A = this chain, B = another copy of it.
Amino acid sequence: MRGHYNLIAGQSIERLAALSDGVFAVAMTLLVLDLRTPAAAAVHGERDLMHALLPLAPRLLVYLMSFLTLGIFWIGQQTQLNNFERADRDLSWIHLAFLFLVSLMPFSTALMAEFFHYRTALVLYWLNILLLGVVLFASWRLALRHGLVTETMRAGTGAIERRIIVAQLLYAFGAVLCIFNTSWSLGFIILLQLNYALAPAFSRRWIP
């Protein structure tokens, strides 16, 4: 009886993709919501306004980084979902866990934007990225085990798994840098994100 519900529940890849797109869309837009306009009372001229906007620049950089992170994981997830023949209940729950981690990104980002000289903020931010990678890896393994992956995609298993692992090792290295200096950490992670985002546009990738 119980088995019956599990067999029919959570099978639609389309709905899983739609929910994911929704959560990503809201999370991506909320990131920027923390950019507050300066208080009107403190602004008496163009110079005041420019001075009030300047401190927003580093924040904007952190938001851009988080947008890149979300973009990278959105592409990673959709690449998997597009190549699954169907979902099942277990896969749905793994992706719900993934979406929970996505929904935490605006918080991790706001923490980072507010406290980017603090190791605690950086480690929590990295933990968020790490868990996103772990869950995406788990999704892939489970889909393989449950026979949900299309034939053509199964051939690329090595490449896909290596990619997630290499990326996560590089993120981990970036996080470790914060022992010395949080700015190095942050800088390294941003370069890493830019590599993943921009590299294909220049037809080659600096880091494998």
A-side residues, CB < 8 A to B, are: 1-2, 4-6, 8-12, 15, 17-19, 21-33, 35, 37-38, 40, 43, 46, 49-50, 53, 64, 67, 71, 74-76, 78-79, 81-83, 89-90, 92-94, 96, 99-100, 103-104, 106-107, 110-111, 114-115, 118-121, 124, 142, 153, 156, 158-160, 162-163, 197-198, 200-201, 205, 208
| Chain B residues with CB below 8 A from A1, complex form | 158-159, 162, 208
CB A95 to nearest CB in B, in angstroms, measures 10
**Nearest chain B residue, comparing its CB with the CB of A49:** B120
**Nearest chain B residue, comparing its CB with the CB of A111:** B37
Report whether B79 and A201 are in contact in the complex, using a CB–CB cutoff of 8 Å.
no
Report whether A30 and B28 are in contact in the complex, using a CB–CB cutoff of 8 Å.
no
Task: Count the copies.
Answer: 4
Distance A103 CA – B78 CA, assembled complex (angstroms): 21
List, sorted by A's number, 9 A–B pairs whose CB atoms are closer than 8 Å. Answer: A8-B79, A26-B30, A28-B103, A31-B103, A53-B111, A53-B124, A71-B93, A74-B96, A96-B197
